[in-house]
Structure 1
C-alpha cells in the first residue's frame, strides 16, 4: 500500500499541462494553437520556474496565426490539454497592442499587462479542490470587463502550481497567450499596468506554499484585479 501511494504521488508530480485552445461563445477551437500562440512546452508540458525570464510573457515558441473576435462583457475561456492537476491559483491578464501593430508578432514587453481575473484560494486553506476552484478542471474562464476599450489584445492565462513551492523557485507557472480582438468595448482605463518579467518576485508569498504548518491566508501574486 505504501509503495502504491508513493507511485501515485510520483505520477501526480509528472501530470503537467498546457493551455492551447480558446473558448469563444461557449465553443472551443477545434485545433490547438489557433488563436493561442504556440508555447515552448508544446511537447513537454513543463512550466516556467524563473519569474525573471522573458518566458513569463507568453512562453512563446511561434508567432500567432489567428485572432479571435470576442465582445466586451462576454465570457472567454481556455482549454488545457489535460486537467489542471496541480493546486494553486489561475489568473488572467490582458495587454492591448498599440494601434497599427501586427498582433501576430507583437511582443508585449514593458508595463502593458493588467489583471482581469483571479481564481484563487477559498478558505479554509489546503491542497485540494475545496480550496482551489480551478484544481482538476480542464477549462478555465473569466468575463471580459464591459468597459475595456475595443482593440486588439493578448490575453494571458497562468496556472501557478504550488505543489513543489516549499522553497523559492519551486513554483511552476503554466501559461500561454491568446490573440483576440475585443469589440463593443467601453471607455475604461485598465490598470495598474505591470510587466512580465517584473510583476512577480521569486520570494513573493503567493509563489510559496507550506504543507506544514498550513498557511492561514493566501494572496496570489501580482497587481489587484481591474474590475472595469
Structure 2
C-alpha cells in the first residue's frame, strides 16, 4: 500500500473536502487499495463513510496537515476595539493535550499582555483566529475574576465561570464553531465590575481519546455591571480527562447527542 501517494493526493484535494471528515475518506481508500485518491475524492467528497481509520494511515495523513490545521486565538474583540496587545500570546500554534496541566489555563508559557481593555458589562467580547477553526469540536468562553490586577494574575484558583459555549448539531452532525474565524458573546450585564481574564478554548476531537485544546487568555476590565455571584471553577480542575465530551469518537458511531465539557453557562 502506497501511503505516501494517498497522503499526497489527499493533501492536494483536501480543501475541496473541508466541510466533511477526511479520515473516513482515507479509510475507504485504504480498504479499496487505491493509490489515486483524486478521482475518488472528487466523486465521494460529500459522503460520510462509516468506518474508522487505522492509526498508521491517520499518522501519515495527519503529518501532511499538521502545520495548516493548527491555529491561535490572537486578537481580543470588543464592541469598541480589537487588540492583540491585551492577549497573552501563545508561543506557537501547537495544542495543549493535558487537561490536568496548568498549561490548560492560558496555554504554554504565553507572552505577557501589555494592556488591559475596558469592556462594559452587557457588551460583546470574544476572540479572532489567525486561521479558521479547522478541527471538529466544541468551544467555550470563560471569565476569570482576578483577585487584583489581571496583569499580575496567573489564573489559578476557583475564579472561573463560563459565559458561552458552542456545541454540536446533528442533521448532519457537525460542531457549530467549525469553520469560524472568530467567536464572540455578550458579557452578562450583572457581572461585577473589575479586572478579569477572558479565556477561549476550542477542543479538537478529530482523534478519538486524544483531544486538543486551542487556548488564549486576554486581560479586560469590566465596567458597570452588577452584583451577580456565579458559581466558579478552577482551570485546571473544571473538566475530568474521562469526560464523555472529550473521549467521544465523533466518527464511529456518529453521535446523536453531545454535551460540551465544563460547567453550565452563566447567563446572568
TM-score, L = length of structure 2 = 0.74
Find runs of 4+ consecutive structure 1 residues off by over 6 angstroms.
none
Cα distance, 1:103 vs structure 2: 1.8
Cα distance, 1:156 vs structure 2: 0.4
- 1:37-76 equivalences under 5 Å are 37-41=88-92, 45-59=93-107, 60-76=109-125
Q: Deviations along 1:63-87, whole A, 9 cap, x unmatched? A: 2210011111111120111111111
> Which residue matches 2:144?
95
| Other structure's SS at 1:122 match | strand
Distance across 1 between alignment mates of 2:156 and 2:91: 18
> Which residue matches 2:154?
107
Q: Is the 8 A contact 1:70 1:180 kept in 2?
A: yes
> Which residue matches 2:239?
200
Cα distance, 1:13 vs structure 2: 4.6
> Which residue matches 1:152?
195
- 1:116-195 equivalences under 5 Å are 116-124=163-171, 126=173, 131-164=174-207, 166-167=208-209, 170-191=210-231, 193-195=232-234
Larger relative contact order (Cα-Cα within 8 Å, sequence gap ≥ 6)? 1
> Which residue matches 1:85?
134
In the alignment of these two chains, the number of paired residues is 212
Residue 216 in 1 paired to residue 216 in 2?
no
Q: Deviations along 1:152-208, whole A, 9 cap, x unmatched? A: 0000000011111x12xx1000001010000110111111x1111111121111112
Work out which of the two has the higher radius of gyration on C-alpha atoms and give 1 or 2. 2
Unpaired runs of 5+ residues, structure 2, are 15-21, 23-60
Distance across 2 between alignment mates of 1:64 and 1:27: 16
- Pick which of 54-63 and 171-180 moved more: 54-63
Distance across 1 between alignment mates of 2:127 and 2:73: 6
| Other structure's SS at 1:216 match | coil
TM-score, L = length of structure 1 = 0.87
Answer 1 or 2: which has greater helix percent: 2
Distance across 2 between alignment mates of 1:179 and 1:6: 38
- Pick which of 56-65 and 67-76 moved more: 56-65
Q: Is the 8 A contact 1:125 1:214 kept in 2?
A: no
Cα distance, 1:145 vs structure 2: 0.4
Distance across 2 between alignment mates of 1:81 and 1:47: 14
> Which residue matches 1:4?
9
* RMSD of aligned Cα (Å): 1.8
Cα distance, 1:6 vs structure 2: 5.8
